């Protein structure tokens, strides 16, 4: 990390300020795609959740609002699988496609406005206690950029296998305009999600620089073994790429089994001091052919309760942004927030002991 470089603290520094304002950690929302499906949306389509940008924007707004009500500090837009190439292959014009990308950000901003307004004058007596403890909590919109594998819709975000013809330049070309459009829509953060390999992280890093994107970004990788990104590139190599990029504010892992997360946090914190973001799935496996999630061979699936039992451990290991990915829900996010508050209260208690004479600790 180029210390002394003002921009380094620009991106990571701004995010750190939000983390501080939230009391030490930020709650990221849960799944968008699978939550839309849980509400009855049919996403058996190559555009997946992006399909709802066209057909059911009100549903997307509802999911954002549900996560805000559940205590999320960060809501992630429905642009994960929204690409100009994907929309245009469906016959939409370039203008229409760009408008849909912008709308993904606008829908989230609208949900935030409704949420904040409701809190200032709305009837939230029943939520009073909870509202008070989170009164000044930051509420941020992260524009989702799914990996190239998400566009391919063949599950390759979980294998990192893009084939030989895909180069850093072709990845840059693929993501460039989409990134520009999303950035121009004015989100607070850009979430590069389910990155399966080092090459794509390098491409993003160069794009952020070349396009002078000043919105703090996070790079979030997928892993199947707890030590490497999905492609087999060591997670430390991937995190080091993110660390070297001054526009990157946080580094982490998403859509990965909960049981693998602890080791990954420990590995990532070896190579970067940037904030760490984790938002695992429930531990099930995605089958691209049928577009379904199935129980992983040998188990490993985590119920909401199991998932939440990990939260404090991840916090201790160094994660300061936590949420959920596929198959998690507002209930998971509510439980994550509660577990994080408990973990931080426990740490505060231990700190208090320092003020007592040693004998009092015994």
Per CB under 5 A, the segment of 107-115, 224-232, 254-262, 305-313 that binds Zn ion is 254-262
Report what 15 binds from ligand MET, Zn ion, none; CB cut-off 5-8 Å by kind. none
User: Which stretch, 68-76, 144-152, 275-283, 300-308, contacts Zn ion (CB under 5 A)?
Assistant: 275-283
Query: Residue 128: CB partners within 8 Å, gap ≥ 6?
Result: none
Any contact of residue 144 with ligand MET (CB under 6 A)? yes
Q: At closest approach, how far in Å is the CB of 221 from Zn ion?
A: 12
* CB of 158 vs Zn ion, minimal distance in Å: 9
Q: How far is the CB of 280 from ligand MET (least distance, A)?
A: 10
- Pairing outcome for strands 285-287 and 292-294: antiparallel
Identified binder of Zn ion from the candidate list 84, 207, 250, 325, rule CB under 5 A: 325
Does 325 contact ligand MET by CB under 6 A? yes
117-153 burial code (b ≥16 CB/10 A, e <16)? eebeeeeeeeeeeeeeebeebbbbbbbbbbbbbbbbb
Q: Are 245 and 220 in contact (CB under 8 A)?
A: no
33 interacts with ligand MET by CB under 6 A: yes
Pick one of Zn ion, ligand MET, none as the site partner of residue 97 (Cβ within 5 to 8 A by kind).
Answer: none
**Whole-number minimum distance, CB 100 to Zn ion, in Å?**
21
Interface with ligand MET includes 194 (CB under 6 A)? yes
Helix (H, G, I), strand (E, B) or coil at 320: strand
Contact in structure between 260 and 301 (CB atoms under 8 Å): no
The CA distance from 33 to 110, in Å, is 19
Neighbours of 35 (CB within 10 A): 26
Asked if 76 interacts with ligand MET (CB under 6 A), we say: yes
Instruction: Write each residue from 261 to 300 as x if it is in contact with ligand MET (CB under 6 A), else as -, in one continuous string.
Output: ----------------------------------------
52 binds, among ligand MET, Zn ion, none (CB under 5 to 8 A by kind): none
In sequence order, what are the residues at sequence separation of 6 or more whose Cβ sits closer than 8 angstroms to the Cβ of residue 275? 12, 15, 16, 19, 249, 250, 251, 320, 321
The three-state (H, E, C) secondary structure of 5-74, written as one string: CHHHHHHHHHHHHHHHHCCCCEEECCCCHHHHHHCCCCCCCCCHHHHHHHHCHHHHHHHHHHHHHCCCCE
Residue 63: φ, ψ to 5°: -65, -45
Q: Please identify, among the stretches 11-19, 29-37, 111-119, 291-299, the one whose residues bind ligand MET according to the rule CB under 6 A.
A: 29-37
Please state the closest distance from residue 354 (CB atom) to ligand MET, in A: 40
The yes or no reply on residue 140 touching ligand MET (CB under 6 A) is no
Helix axes 235-244, 198-210, angle to 10 degrees: 10
Count of residues that interact with Zn ion, criterion CB under 5 A: 4
Tell me: does residue 255 bind Zn ion (CB under 5 A). Answer: yes
DSSP single-letter state for residue 323: -
Instruction: Among 19, 32, 189, 230, indicate the residue that binds ligand MET (CB under 6 A).
Output: 32
Query: 196 or 275: whose CB is closer to ligand MET?
Result: 196
Q: Is 326 in the site for Zn ion (CB under 5 A)?
A: yes
Q: Which helix (H) or strand (E) holds 350?
A: helix 330-353
Least distance from ligand MET to the Cβ atom of residue 54, Å: 16
The answer to whether 62 and 14 have CB atoms below 8 angstroms apart is no
Q: For binding to Zn ion (CB under 5 A), which residues are involved?
A: 255, 281, 325-326
Q: For binding to ligand MET (CB under 6 A), which residues are involved?
A: 31-33, 49, 76, 80, 144, 193-194, 255, 325-326
């Amino acid at each position: 990390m180029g210390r002394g470089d003002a921009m380094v603290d620009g991106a990571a520094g701004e995010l750190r300020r939000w983390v501080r304002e939230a009391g030490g950690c930020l709650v990221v929302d849960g799944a968008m795609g699978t939550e839309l499906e849980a509400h009855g949306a049919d996403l058996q389509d190559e555009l997946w959740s992006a399909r709802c940008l066209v057909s059911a924007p009100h549903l997307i707004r509802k999911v954002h609002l549900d996560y805000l009500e559940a205590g999320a500090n960060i809501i992630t837009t429905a642009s994960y699988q929204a690409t100009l190439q994907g929309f245009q292959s469906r016959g939409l014009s370039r203008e229409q496609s760009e408008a849909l990308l912008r709308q993904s950000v606008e829908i989230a901003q609208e949900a935030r406005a409704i949420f904040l307004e409701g809190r200032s004058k709305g009837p939230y007596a029943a939520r009073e206690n909870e509202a008070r403890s989170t009164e000044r909590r930051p509420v941020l919109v992260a524009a989702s950029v799914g990996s190239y594998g998400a566009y391919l819709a063949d599950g390759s975000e979980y294998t990192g296998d893009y084939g030989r013809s895909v180069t850093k330049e072709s990845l840059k070309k693929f993501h460039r305009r989409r990134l520009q459009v999303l950035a121009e829509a004015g989100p607070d953060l850009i979430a590069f999600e389910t990155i399966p390999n080092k090459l794509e992280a390098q491409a993003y890093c160069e794009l952020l620089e070349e396009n002078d994107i000043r919105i703090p970004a996070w790079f979030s990788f997928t892993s199947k073994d707890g030590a490497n990104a999905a492609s087999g590139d060591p997670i430390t190599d991937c995190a080091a790429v993110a660390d070297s990029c001054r526009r990157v504010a946080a580094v982490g892992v998403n859509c990965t089994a909960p049981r693998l997360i602890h080791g990954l946090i420990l590995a990532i914190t070896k190579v970067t001091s940037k904030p760490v973001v984790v938002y695992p799935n429930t531990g099930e496996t995605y089958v691209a052919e049928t577009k379904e999630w199935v129980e992983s061979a040998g188990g490993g699936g985590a119920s909401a309760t199991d998932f939440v039992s990990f939260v404090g451990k991840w916090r201790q290991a160094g994660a300061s942004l936590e949420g959920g990915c596929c198959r998690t829900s507002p209930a998971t996010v509510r439980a994550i927030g509660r577990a994080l508050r408990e973990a931080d209260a426990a740490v505060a208690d231990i700190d208090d002991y320092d003020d007592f004479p040693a004998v009092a600790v015994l």
